[in-house]
Amino acid sequence: MPNPSVVIVPGAWHRPAHFQGLIDELAKVNYDAVGVTMPSVDSSPPLPSWDQDAQAVRQVIMERLDAGKEVVVLAHSFGGIAMSEAAKGLGKKERAAQGLQGGIVKLMYMCSMALPKGQSHIGQLTPQTPEEEEIEKQRQELEAKFGGMEITADGALKLPKDNVHLILYNRCEPKDIERAVELLGTFPAGPLSVPVTYTAYREIPSTYIMCKNDLALRLPYQRRMIAQGEGCFDVEECDEGHSPWMSKPQFIVDCALHPTNRPPRRQNASCDPCRRSKRRCVVLPSSDGVSACANCRRLGHQCTFEFADSKSSLTSGSNKRAKYQHNATSKTIREDGCALGTSPAADINIPHDQFDPTLAIDHDILSSWLNLDFDNYLEGDSTSSTNGLDLFTSATDLSRRHTSTSGGIDNELTLHSTGFPKIENCRSFQSIPRIGFSFNSPIYLLNSGIDAKILGDRLTRIYEAIATSSASRFLEYDCNLYPSKNRYRIGENTSSSSNGSPLALPTTGLHASPLDHADTAPVQDEPAQQISLLGSVRFLDHFGDFYGNRLSAAARKRSDETLKAVLRAFSMQWLPSSNPSFEQGNNEQRWKNENASGSFIDAWVRARSLLQDAHAHNTRSFRMILATLTFVGIVTPTKIIDAEGLVPNNFLKDGLNQLCSLDQLVTNYCIDLGQSSIYGPLAEASLSIIRWAGYIRDTGAALSLDHKSILPDKWGPTRAPPNKEAIADWATCRNILELDANIQSIFRKASAETFYIWRKIINIKESVTLPHGNVADKSKSTIEAINMGIATIDEFNETYQPFISHCCYVYLYDTRPIHLLSILMNHGSVSHTMFWSLGIFLLVDVFQTATVSHLDESIAQCIGPTIRKYRDHAASIVAQVVGSVQNLPAEEVFNLQNGLGAEVPITVYHVTPSLAVTALEKAIESVIESQHTSIPQGGLREYHREALVPDGIWDHQVDILMKGLMSLDVTIGGSQTCGVTLRRLMRRHGDTLSECWTSEFET
């Protein structure tokens, strides 16, 4: 049977030429496709309705139906209205009843308007829920910021081409964006308010392609339209923006394929790399005779079907379901040949009020969410897995990789997606738990987020944006110096390294990760268990009774209330400190903004009070540990400092001691669970995340405050030297897209090295402040610590600084529009640069203290130039990055989407706001200090201020850094710290700062 024709209906402002890439992809699989020219686009005078668009679509469809062809109609955005109207009476079923050949076999709504009869575009987008009201509020803020759409002389709507790509073409490639923007036409306003007269999706089989990152037709509106369909839609989900046909055309091709020709997408028919990575596997015809799926061709992987071939003798899915319904038996055999037993399928009962996996066998969305290969479960095949019980693949995403003890690794556990841990001893099939079959399973706590009912919608989005972003940069498995043997993945990210899959080199198709040493074994292409920071806390507390931390009802309530209060105060730091756009408008809005700081102070005081109360009652839980670790990073309000002085923070020590205590309990609990446990490795991975979060706070406090580190200075057992050659290749890569895809993974490795170096600096600090020993002994230990610190810094600079400098080069000198670089790349590079540089500045402070106290002058003069070189380079690169950030287009859309103020700079995107402020303060002082001529006098340095002469370089750096510092006060947290820092800088260097400052007035 010939393939159906595909008719593509463009949305508002778009033309068929926009979809040429999709048309070409469809042609590769022998589908002829055509785009419809919409009369409303560029109409003059503007058309009052969409009826001419519907007629044009119907005409193109009829041309194919008259030829006896079947048709798939694919509509984008507003084109869904014209498609629905044009399809009236043209479904294959309706035409067959009339004795006519051909017909529409499927309608596809691609993030499109799927409206019930009587509804209009404007009516559908009228907010119906608090979430939609917040989206509308954001839209109005954007319109106030950018001025909205332009109106042509004849009254048509014209999109602003300088920033429309942020809404329509997010997640698309730069080369495609420029062309798409140039092709945009005008569109009339009239059709937006004309109701539809026909509900096509109730008569013709329909698919809705839901795009999770769509910024034009936001996800809540898409979900509401799907719900209005009352089950009429097959739903396909993707992570794309409003233009998936441009950002991921192969996904759209796969969705459009005729059911009889659609390549199997089940796990048993996927290639091995796609099966392990849960990718949609589509094998396309190839002119070169090589059988490989689209993903393997793109990624350069070897496309093998060993798992699928092993399943080729199995019966069809429908037969398996029949076996299930008729109480057939299934037998499971271990890979070593030991039978686990025979069990009637009828015994596998699922409560009627819980999800029945048999209902999701052919439902891609639910089956991928459950990660459930249910056919394996029913069949009980002996070849189901090379890792043990793959027939139980479920939401736990867990596997056990066994290696010989002679190789130095004993029963290494790794969180992947191929199955549960191998059972060490034969036991009956009935004794194996059915993990993850219930929505109430504790497994689903692991990646849980915060409920909007707790903080409200805006604060929830702020928390997710800041906490998840920072956790992805600093808590990922690749950053962790305390890693368990179980890989995990934090939040949503696209980094290959974080989930264990290999990273491609910039110019080759090698499979080895560029971050792994050549002598280490390559990491398998397997996704790791996704765990959120909050989810790990909930998961561990859930089993508190099991490991001996039984809490009373009052203690549980204190833990919950304290964590809620801390998260509220934490999130409020990123609320706008003021909103100038409302100063001359809405008085109520201005009043709210003026009181935002007061609300933050109240929230901070309440959080502190609850923490004090909980610690006084010795409330011990992982929720309390997270609350403590979070609170110590919250900015202390200036009013509190003015009233009470510098507030001592005693919570950290208590929280870390609690962590050490619970750490031992959970560790013993995991040992008791045994090697065949499913939950044991998950608990170990969760504990690893919390332990590492505590290590970060402990290290930061020990480096910058009067705090002695509590957690041990330890590098985990899996540490391997970085692959310097591969990182060097990336340091010269000029392919922005490839660099963009891999930068986050490299920065994670660099972050791990940074924490290692920070501990070396702490060793220097502690050797300087030793309470016992004579001067000679202290001097010797200090010199040893300094030399070791310098060696690790030199090694880091040799490996990573060329890459970091290259990223700064891309920022400053690349001639292409800087806004085409992804937000992920911007955040990662800026955050790490500030983080690393702050450590260097603190090293300088420690060295100066050592010089004053007991370090021999000759030794100080020998080491001093090296330390100052580090300082000058760190100050220079911070100035470069801050200058680049100031030149970046504002990320208003991204900020408002995440509940932030429109003008929040990306330097603010760190879980501890004071960190960026401190780094900038230190950078400013370092630049000024480097220009002074110093002379020793009584162990202190005295500066000749007459030697400070602006030369157009250092004074420009000071100006940039000061502007970067001042830009941070747009948030409450930034304003609380910037004011104190600015006053301190003015007292020390007021004249110099005034001399370097430039204004931006034009008259």
Which residue is it, tokens 């790349």?
825
In terms of phi and psi (left: phi > 0; alpha: psi -120 to 50; beta: otherwise), the region of 495 is: beta
352 and 394 in a single domain? The answer is yes
What CATH number is associated with residue 846?
1.20.120
Based on the fold, state whether residues 163 and 232 are members of the same structural domain. Answer: yes
Q: Are residues 662 and 572 in the same domain?
A: yes
AA identity, residue 881: V
User: 25 and 129 in one domain?
Assistant: yes
Domain presence at residue 486: no
Mark whether 21 and 161 lie in a shared domain: yes
Per annotation, catalytic residue among 18, 242, 416, 806: 242
Indicate if 429 and 553 belong to the same structural domain. Answer: no
Gap between the Cα atoms of 844 and 710, Å rounded: 23
Would you call 214 a catalytic residue per the annotation?
yes
Tell me, what's the pLDDT at 393? 30
Compute mean pLDDT per 10 residues along the chain, 1003 residues long, and list them.
Answer: 91 96 92 95 94 96 93 96 95 92 95 93 89 83 75 90 88 90 94 93 94 92 90 90 94 76 48 65 55 67 70 40 33 35 35 34 32 34 32 32 34 33 37 57 84 80 82 84 81 36 30 35 50 92 95 95 94 77 39 68 94 92 96 90 75 92 94 89 93 91 86 61 76 70 80 87 81 67 85 88 72 44 69 86 86 72 87 90 76 63 72 85 91 48 51 88 90 88 92 89 77
Same structural domain, 42 and 141: yes
The answer to whether 34 touches 23, Cβ cutoff 8 Å, is yes
Chain centroid to CA 840: how far? 28
pTM as predicted: 0.59
User: For residue 929, what pLDDT is reported?
Assistant: 86
pLDDT of residue 278: 53
- Is residue 242 part of the annotated active site? The answer reads yes
CB crowding 259-276: b at 16 or more within 10 Å, else e: eeeebebbbbbbbbbbbb
Task: Give me the helices (H) in 169-210, please.
Answer: 174-183
User: What is d(CA 283, CA 28) in angstroms, rounded to the nearest whole number?
Assistant: 12
- Given 677, 704, 731, the domain boundary residue is 704
Instruction: Let me know if residue 961 belongs to a domain.
Output: yes
Q: Are residues 899 and 852 in the same domain?
A: no
The total number of structural domains that make up the chain = 5
Residue 501 within any structural domain of the chain: no
Q: Where a domain ends, among 440, 461, 482?
A: 440
Examine residue 267 and state whether it is found in any structural domain, yes or no.
no
Residue of 18, 165, 214, 698 marked active site: 214
Is residue 922 one of the residues assigned to a domain? Answer: yes
Query: What CATH number did the domain enclosing 191 receive?
Result: 3.40.50.1820
Q: Is residue 470 part of a domain?
A: no
DSSP per position, 598-646: HHHHHHHHHHHHHHHHHHHTT---HHHHHHHHHHTTSPPPHHHHHHHSS
- At a CB cut-off of 8 Å and minimum separation 6, what does 943 contact? 929, 932, 933, 934
Q: Which of 888, 915, 941 is the endpoint of a domain?
A: 888
Based on the fold, state whether residues 811 and 927 are members of the same structural domain.
no
Q: Which residues contact 683 (CB under 8 A, 6 or more apart)?
A: 539, 540, 543, 666, 669, 670, 673
Residues 6+ apart with CB under 8 A from 675: 400, 411, 421, 424
What per-residue confidence (pLDDT) applies to 233? 92
Q: Are residues 245 and 372 in the same domain?
A: no
DSSP secondary-structure letter at 430? G
Beta bridge partners of 530: 489
Looking at residue 111, its pLDDT comes to 96
Report the 3 state secondary structure along 905-926: CHHHCCCCHHHHHHHHHHHHHH
Q: How far apart are CA 122 and CA 127, in angstroms?
A: 10
Say yes or no: 768 and 824 in one domain: yes
DSSP sequence for 788-846: HHHHHHHHHHHHHHHHHHHHHHHHHH--S-GGGS-HHHHHHHHHHHHHHHHHHHHHHHH
Domain span at residue 183? Answer: 5-262
Q: Is the peptide bond before 46 cis (omega within 30 degrees of 0)?
A: no
Query: How far, in Å, CA of 257 to CA of 141, rounded?
Result: 41
Is residue 488 a part of any domain in this protein?
Answer: no
> What integer pLDDT is reported at residue 751 of this predicted model?
86
Q: Where are the alpha helices (DSSP H) in 674-817?
A: 679-704, 724-730, 736-768, 775-813
Q: Is residue 521 domain-resident?
A: no
Identify whether residues 952 and 876 lie together within a single domain.
Answer: no
